[in-house]
Amino acid sequence: MKSVIALVGRPNVGKSTLFNQLTRSRDALVADRPGLTRDRQYGLGKVGERSYLVVDTGGLSGEAETLDTLMAQQTLQAVSESDVVLFLVDAREGLSGADEAVAARLRVMGKPVLLVLNKTDGLDPDATAAEFHSLGIGAPIPIAAAHGRGIQGLMRRVWEHLPDSEAEEQEHEAFWPGIRIAFVGRPNAGKSTLMNRILGEQRVLASDIPGTTRDSIFVPFQRDEKQYTLIDTAGVRRRARVHDAIEKFSVIKTLQAIDASDVVIFLLDAQQGIAEQDAHLLGLVMDAGRALVVAINKWDGLSPDQRERVKADLDLKLPFLDFAEKRFISALHGTGVGDLFAAVERAYQAARIKVSTPELMRLLDQALAMHQPPLVRGRRIKLRYIHQGGKQPPIFVIHGNQTDALPASYKRYLSNWFRQQLQLVGTPIRLEFRTGE
Ligand code: GDP
Ligand code: GDP
């Protein structure tokens, strides 16, 4: 599972500015789709070869009476789920009582904490840093998040506290066989019920496979002679053994599972209808570029009218899901559950497609012949060359001139064209544009 970095500090110290810096490399990858907004609190980031999850906790004010608020509780949950905490303080404001209160709070949580002194631009870092030593968290690391300064040095310090994710990832590739499936959805959507149903029908017990432990959240199983690994963030298997432990829903664990998976099965609760949180969680799936199958669960017990309403709502509220297969299921009764696997297989294969350069060039030429890119400042935008730059999801890199000026509508046109022509269902695709002048 990917390491988690939590950003903590009182309001206005620069957490969201730093969040943007740490997740910036993903910006180009965020799907350009109606109805989807980029998550400003949870993000995936990458520096060099190392990737991580970042959570902007939204902040602790440091005032005791607010610690019971929902925001404070969420901050504390994020801190307890993180691997390292970046505690931001403001070089311009100087040390405040609120900083001291936050420091005291963090100290008892026993997580590695790095003290980050932000807004050092135009200041003498040594002079401003001096007073912050008294927090007892070690020497402040000076940065200027707004200018991207000091971030590399900061990240080098962060790595000291994180496991070597690359080595771990390779190990993990080799260890968990078959297609890895994450079950994602808001609390009560039916994830545990679906996982139990699937595992109840499995032929090979996880504990029969060497090296697997009962506590692992990775659960290998077989179905129709095919190997899969289920990623259990809902704690289904532990819950079955330890009756009291009803795990709290965690966006961080959800994001880690999405990241570790090949295909996400996203559960919607047809009886509750589509909620804000569904769009939010789907945004995280899209941001990660995962292959996706949408399972509309609890289809049992709905009248024909209600069913029509849910279907209309899907198109209205989640139009960006047009690329994914939708299956209407009942995890409780098992209806439609078997069909999910064919859809998972198709989505997986689509995400791993390899398209040759000549084939892509042919499709690009056809697309350009039908609709030319627009003129910008009297010059036509030229798209000259395309090749595949990656898979899971498929990335197509298009080289040309003035590609920065390409309108979103034209990008969508190309994206839809490639999707249709390559018959890609179940995976997002990404187009990257490079100007080669
Ligand atoms: P948050 O409330 O902790 O998320 O803080 P924000 O990221 O919203 O930043 C608060 C303010 O500080 C904004 O006006 C930022 O532009 C400013 N800010 C953030 N980083 C820097 C920095 O490195 N230098 C300066 N001078 N201002 C900064
Ligand atoms: P989770 O929080 O996403 O893991 O959701 P659970 O699997 O714990 O399910 C929440 C509730 O929904 C439980 O009471 C389940 O029995 C019920 N439930 C799950 N799937 C279905 C279904 O297909 N139909 C109906 N009617 N209820 C379901």
Which domain CATH number covers 79?
Answer: 3.40.50.300
Specify whether the CB–CB gap between 19 and 39 falls below 8 A.
Answer: no
Question: In this predicted structure, what is the pLDDT of residue 166?
Answer: 61
**In whole angstroms, what is the distance from residue 251 CA to residue 239 CA?**
19
Given 352, 381, 411, which residue is the final one in a domain?
352
Instruction: For residue 176, give both structure tokens.
Output: 């968990």
Residue 264: pLDDT band with limits 50, 70, 90:
very high
Among 107, 117, 164, CA closest to 141: 117
**In whole angstroms, what is the distance from residue 123 CA to residue 263 CA?**
48
CA of 193 to the centre of ligand 2 (A): 6
Given 137, 167, 197, which residue is the final one in a domain?
167
Question: Looking at the structure, do residues 372 and 291 belong to the same domain, yes or no?
Answer: no
Question: In this predicted structure, what is the pLDDT of residue 211?
Answer: 47
Residue 1: pLDDT band with limits 50, 70, 90:
confident
Q: Which helix (H) or strand (E) holds 304?
A: helix 304-317
246 pLDDT more than 50: no
Given 115, 150, 167, which residue is the final one in a domain?
167
Residue 105: pLDDT band with limits 50, 70, 90:
confident
330 pLDDT more than 70: yes
Question: Looking at the structure, do residues 90 and 227 belong to the same domain, yes or no?
Answer: no
**In whole angstroms, what is the distance from residue 7 CA to residue 19 CA?**
8
**In whole angstroms, what is the distance from residue 401 CA to residue 170 CA?**
38
Count of the separate structural domains present in the chain: 3
Question: Looking at the structure, do residues 361 and 332 belong to the same domain, yes or no?
Answer: no
Is 177 annotated to bind ligand?
no
Cβ contacts of residue 394 below 8 Å, gap of 6+? 350, 351, 353, 355, 388, 422, 424, 427, 429, 430
Q: Looking at residues 118-146, what average pLDDT do you find?
A: 92
Nearest CA to ligand 2 atom 17: 190
Find the angle CA(89)-CA(95)-CA(101) to the nearest 5 degrees: 80
Question: In this predicted structure, what is the pLDDT of residue 114?
Answer: 97
Question: Looking at the structure, do residues 336 and 381 belong to the same domain, yes or no?
Answer: no
432 pLDDT more than 80: yes
Ligand nearest to the CA of 16: 1
Residue 207 φ/ψ, nearest 5 degrees:
-70, -10
Q: Is 185 in the pocket of ligand 2 (CB under 6 A)?
A: yes
Q: From 7, 8, 10, 12, give the residue whose CB has the most ligand 1 atoms within 8 Å, as the site to mutate.
A: 12
ipTM of the complex in this document: 0.88
Question: Looking at the structure, do residues 385 and 324 belong to the same domain, yes or no?
Answer: no
| % of the chain exceeding 70 in pLDDT | 84
CATH number, domain containing residue 417: 3.30.300.20
Pairwise pLDDT comparison (26 vs 282), residue with the higher score: 282
320 pLDDT more than 80: yes
Question: Looking at the structure, do residues 334 and 363 belong to the same domain, yes or no?
Answer: no
Question: Looking at the structure, do residues 216 and 343 belong to the same domain, yes or no?
Answer: yes
Q: Looking at residues 27-49, what average pLDDT do you find?
A: 69
Ligand nearest to the CA of 12: 1
Question: Looking at the structure, do residues 336 and 195 belong to the same domain, yes or no?
Answer: yes
9-27 pLDDT, tens per residue?
A: 988 999 999 999 998 755 4
Is 118 annotated to bind ligand?
yes
Question: Looking at the structure, do residues 129 and 196 belong to the same domain, yes or no?
Answer: no
**In whole angstroms, what is the distance from residue 218 CA to residue 176 CA?**
7
Q: Is 13 in the pocket of ligand 1 (CB under 6 A)?
A: yes
Q: Which helix (H) or strand (E) holds 15?
A: helix 15-23
Is 248 annotated to bind ligand?
no
- The DSSP symbol for 128 reads H
Instruction: For residue 283, give both structure tokens.
Output: 């945004």
Question: In this predicted structure, what is the pLDDT of residue 117?
Answer: 97
Q: Looking at residues 91-107, what average pLDDT do you find?
A: 91
Which domain range does residue 23 map to?
A: 4-167
CA of 337 to the centre of ligand 2 (A): 14
Q: Considering Cα of 39, then 41, then 47, then 49, what sign does the dihedral take?
A: negative
The CA-atom distances, in angstroms, between 21 and each of 5, 32, 101, 118, 282 are 13, 20, 27, 13, 23
Q: Looking at residues 56-78, what average pLDDT do you find?
A: 70
30 pLDDT more than 70: no
DSSP line for 190-225? SHHHHHHHHHHT-SS-GGGSTT--TT-SEEEEEETT
Q: Are strands 50-56 and 42-47 parallel, antiparallel or unpaired?
A: antiparallel
Q: Is 233 in the pocket of ligand 2 (CB under 6 A)?
A: no
SS3 117: strand
Question: Looking at the structure, do residues 137 and 277 belong to the same domain, yes or no?
Answer: no
261 pLDDT more than 70: yes
| % of the chain exceeding 90 in pLDDT | 59
Question: Looking at the structure, do residues 31 and 114 belong to the same domain, yes or no?
Answer: yes
Ligand nearest to the CA of 117: 1
379-388 pLDDT, tens per residue?
A: 999 999 999 9
Contacts 24+ apart (CB under 8 A), 133-138: 134/95, 135/89, 135/95, 135/99, 135/100, 135/103, 136/103, 136/107, 137/87, 137/103, 137/106, 137/107, 137/113, 138/114
Residue 34: pLDDT band with limits 50, 70, 90:
low
Pairwise pLDDT comparison (69 vs 196), residue with the higher score: 196
Question: Looking at the structure, do residues 191 and 264 belong to the same domain, yes or no?
Answer: yes
